[in-house]
Chains A and B, each alone.
Chain A
Amino acid sequence: MRLLPPHGSRIDRGTSIAFSFEGRRYTGFDGDTVASALAANDVILLGRSFKYHRPRGILTMTGDDANTFVTIDSTPNLLADVVPIREGMNVMGQHYSGSLIGDNGRWIERIAKFLPVGFYYRALFRPRGIWPLWEKLVRRMAGLGRVSLDAKHGYYDKQYLFADTVVIGGGAAGLSAALAAAERGDETVLVERQPVLGGSLNHARFDAERMRGIDTARSLVAQALVHPKIRVMTDATCTGWFADNYLPILQGNRMFKLRATDVVVATGALEQPAVFRNNDLPGIMFGSAAQRLIRLYGVRPGIRAVVATANEDGYGVALDLLDAGVDVAAIVDISARSGMGPLARAASEKGIEIVSGGALREALPTEGGLSVGAVMVADNAGQDRLIECDLLCLSVGWAPSSALPAHAGAPVLYDDSWHGFTVRETPPGMRVAGAVNGVWDLDAALEDGAGGGDIPATPSPNHHWPIFPHPDGKEFVDFDEDLTIADIRNAVADGFEDIELVKRFSTVGMGPSQGRQTASNAVRLTQEANGGLLADARGSTNRPPAFPETLGALAGRNFHPVRVSAMHERHLEAGASMLIAGAWLRPACYGGAANIEAEVNAVRGNVAMMDVSTLGGLEVRGPDAAEFLNRIYTMSYLKQPVGRSRYVLMCNDLGTIVDDGVACRLADDHFYVTATTGNADGVYREMLFRNVQWRLDVDIGNVTAAYSAVSLAGPKSRQVLERVCDDLDLSAEGFPYMGVREGTVAGIPARLLRVGFVGELGWEIHVPSSMGEALWDALMEAGAEDGIRPFGVEAQRILRLEKGHIIIGQDSDALTHPHEVDMGWALGKRKPYFNGARGIEMQMKQPMTRRLAGFVLPEDTAALPEESHLVLRDGVIAGRITSIVRSPTLGRPIGLAFVPPDMGEPDGRLAIKGPRGRLIEATVVALPFYDPDNKRQAL
């Protein structure tokens, strides 16, 4: 039922919102959560428990427990007590089969005694192989919500945030801390999980008249909101602490990554349950939850209430219930307190019956078992009394909300005199303030927030042992996993004596609420069962995230840098399908795979061009440039003439081939070196690393992105180039194979290299990348009358294989040295040193175990073997294919394979295990397959 104002500070009664729950339509107000709106409609059954399908309702009203898990539209496992209602939303309870009220799965509780903790570790794995069947059943029974496979991608992102001081928690201590930091001049960020600042000031009762909290909140919040040094973030959750005060803060669909000099943790405390039979029935909730319903949402939480308390807070709860028109049947004070505080006196004066020194026996359900109907208590004389009620509020103690200090390494240990956990030392750059620091008085909390030195101790609000075993059990320690007193004791009896082991064996504290309502009682019971001391006992390790994070929030906006050449759009316009090569996108082929053969034929018989901008480009300049290349590459460069290019092969210290390209000598002290597309950055890094040691007078510049390059190839390439290049002699004599010139192409300053990866007459034309598209356009236009066409990586793979050129990384692996791929010719024999020389020498002292050999298959081979298919000898693995294509030029399949040296001689036969295990016979041939005299590239 709704209460009249001033109850309901968060709701706007002028705006009604309709939604459905379990198929029925309800209305609430703007500002309501799902749970508060349903409570206002007298719906208190929200879902079922995970294991036994017990009915569950509101416990905390702060999103700290898993009782209120619901599925909203397509998103499961949302917390009904904190998720705001939205017009038209469709809310369903979870963990049930059939209907929420009639749940077909509730029979499981009747066999609970056969399902002790760890039962499935022991029972469900025999006979062998049976577990998958059980797993299916267990999963169906558990009903962990349903993920919609039609869910749309959400937009999530991340943003860095910086602060001198960040205050986590916007209650009394947090507000005070933020204001104090801001007054000192600190840039301050104040982070609050709830939609408004104020924390417990907004709902708790600090005095009999109840205005103290409201007035304090009003004043502090007003100051904080206008302070120019404070950034207030509400609905924002700090989910963890990481080194150097790096804090993830979730707000909406954004994760802020906040770096702060100082962190003040003012996260308050978490109310803790009493453990007694049926303590999980809907209608049993924390006193603070009832106060939140009343004060924040204007909801009367029940008609007839019992308050079980061990502290002054419970009396405040009773007074609030009275104010809300609830009949308070009794306050059962389970502490042995002498003397009463102002709230207790006020409650007494109001005529509420107080059962002092009482104990909780059990809660009894209504008929149907869906909510609390009465509570059996014992008075101080030990006499049992049954008190009918539909609301039982628990105010028996608190635990510090200590996740963040725990993440930072602060010891959180049990304090015997405080009867609960306390945060001990915090690391430099972090302090705790207010209730999380065990400060239980409003004035003291304000002072503590402001960093006010020694705070006088306040009496503990915690009952020393709020645990009431019952002969029939069902006293729940952990609501997430339906764990009872007996379960904890049994875990210890099974030999799991440490709380970390108890946790893992029994799953206590491992559910969605991560032990927030569990840790204190679990440690009490564990220590009792194994005869240990409670003093300085620790809870299980607390790790981030402190609160649930969605995968979307963790992923954020995807940043996947992709590199494209200046001609990228031209490729797309020409119908290219792109493939990923390192960080680059490259055209695989144009107009579909059916055109690959035509692209190959154009290179062999006419003219074609390829975008090779993705090749690495490195400027090596300085007096020692030639000496530098001489050391880092295997060939000799000291006497390389200006205007010539030379092959470069790079090995690592083991002698393994790691990269290749060409070095163009543009001047005595200037080489322009190319590297493979995928390894350009690696080569650059290696060069810098080596020269730090060699200290040669040389500068290395990575100019990969600064140059676009086109490979113009084919018998007609010269005549095409001549149309756009009039300042260079392009004849075979004037510009021979492996020559390098600087000139202009279509008016664009260019470096021209006569190289031949594809084995035809051709040039690589390197120009400033800002002019790459213009170069592409000019060459396409110049070649139009000859029918020029672009070719892609797929055609190039065929062309180079026909020519017997290897691709490093495909035809070599992490152990391939030059002799294995027949590249001994590329090793400078008369040099004193090059990278990898010693490694190669050592390798060659061993017998060769393999070599790369060319092979051909019969023309009519239908299903080709693939790369990595095996070469067999006498049925045993002897080698593998590294490259294979159907060659349009030779009209048959050709390939390369690693084979034992004796199998690599021309005319030898290889048995290849092809598709579906079929053996295919290949013939070894000498390389290259095409134009063995290299006449075509030298035209």
Chain B
Amino acid sequence: MTDPAQHTRRSPVYRKLVAAGATFREAADGAVAATVPGAPRPLGLADLSVLPRLGYKGPGALAALATVGVPVPEANNTALAMPGGGLVARLADSEALLLGDPTGTGDPLAAYGALHGAGCYAMPRRDSHAWFTLAGDRAADCLAKLCGVDLRPHRFADGAIAQTSLARMNGILIRDDRGGALAYHILADSASAPYLWDCLIDAMAEYDGGPVGLDDLASFASAE
């Protein structure tokens, strides 16, 4: 069995998943929890923190991304799927976030990792932010215990982004449904990730939610 502590790159919450009895597999240059006892669940929280992601900011950031073929969304606070997997999230006129493939396969961002040029600056989002995915029909209800934004599916479209306060932390929420199931990516301060993980697990309890692995997330997609 893969031991996440044998890898140089480790998630800020890998111990939480070890404690939950997760089975890990290698993904990118780290190890992700593939399955967690208790899954599938009606509501699952997965940790994708070791998977690749990139940030670019600066007045020339969006143009630089477009130049290399990244489908930059037209509007701020919206996200689009990238060819080959992953998402590009437009956070502002001068900032974008690229998320790798949430299944942990391949590295669709490999080609975009070294952009630089006039007014385009890379941000180490893989380290500054933890990356969780919350999936399940009651995901919006669960988040309503931590966040004041109306995230209900009929008010917060697939691909919508909220940059907001989450359990009194700054957080980025991106709706990215898994097949037919409601799902949100959560990106927040990696140094507070263990705290946020505990808050989410606590909030999920009443919906029979709990930690799941990346492979367990697939069950949400196939549940359609």
Contacts and interface: CB of A to CB of B under 8 A. Distances in A.
- Tell me whether A and B are bound partners: yes
Interface of A: 157-162, 257, 259, 557, 559-566, 568-569, 583-584, 613, 619, 621-622, 697, 699, 701, 703-707, 746-748, 768-771, 773-774
B121 A701 contact: yes
A565 B191 contact: yes
Contacts of A699: 57-58, 119, 121
A559 B168 CA distance: 6
Contacts of B125: 706
Most buried by A among B30, B124, B125: B124
Given A621-B121, A770-B50, A705 B144 contact: no
Contacts of B191: 563-565, 584, 613, 704-705, 769
B25 interface: no
Contacts, number: 113
Contacts of B124: 703, 706-707, 768
A769 B127 contact: yes
Interface in B163-189: 167-169, 189
Contacts of B141: 159
Contact of B199 (A559, A568, A706, A770): A559
A561 B189 CA distance: 10
A747 B9 CA distance: 11
Residues of A contacting B: mostly: mixed
Contacts of A774: 7-10
Contact of B189 (A160, A259, A563, A768): A563
Contacts of A562: 192, 195
A569 B15 contact: yes
Nearest to B10: A773
Interface stretch (B32-40, B70-78, B97-105, B147-155): B147-155
B209 interface: no
A672 to B, nearest CB: 11
A548 to B, nearest CB: 23
B194 interface: yes
B133 interface: no
B144 to A, nearest CB: 4
Contacts of B50: 770
A619 B55 CA distance: 13
Nearest to B12: A566
A160 B125 CA distance: 29
A706 B5 CA distance: 19
Interface string B111-149: 000000001010111111100000000000100111110
Given A559-B199, A564-B191, A703-B124, A160 B144 contact: yes
A559 B190 contact: no
5 contacts: A159-B141, A160-B144, A705-B128, A706-B127, A770-B10
A565 B194 CA distance: 10
Contacts of A773: 5, 10
A705 B5 CA distance: 20
Given A162-B150, A563-B189, A705-B128, A770 B121 contact: no
A773 B6 CA distance: 11
Contacts of A565: 191
A699 B8 CA distance: 30
Contact of B49 (A613, A706, A748, A770): A770
B59 to A, nearest CB: 8
Place the interface of chain B in its size category. 35 or more
B155 A162 contact: yes
A697 B121 CA distance: 12
A563 to B, nearest CB: 4
A915 to B, nearest CB: 38
Contacts of B127: 703, 705-707, 768-770
Contacts of A613: 191
B168 A159 contact: no
Most buried by B among A706, A747, A773: A706
A161 B148 CA distance: 8
A563 B168 CA distance: 12
Contacts of A621: 121
B166 to A, nearest CB: 9
Nearest to A621: B121
A701 B124 CA distance: 10
Contacts of B9: 768, 770-771, 774
Interface string B30-66: 1000000000000000000110000001100000000
Contacts of A703: 123-124, 127-128
B189 to A, nearest CB: 5
A158 B146 CA distance: 8
Contact of B192 (A563, A566, A748, A770): A563
A683 to B, nearest CB: 16
Contacts of B169: 561
A569 B190 CA distance: 15
A162 B152 contact: yes
B115 to A, nearest CB: 13
Contact of A560 (B121, B126, B168): B168
A621 B150 CA distance: 36
B10 A619 contact: no
Given A559-B199, A561-B195, A160 B148 contact: yes
A701 B11 CA distance: 22
Contact of B168 (A561, A564, A697, A768): A561
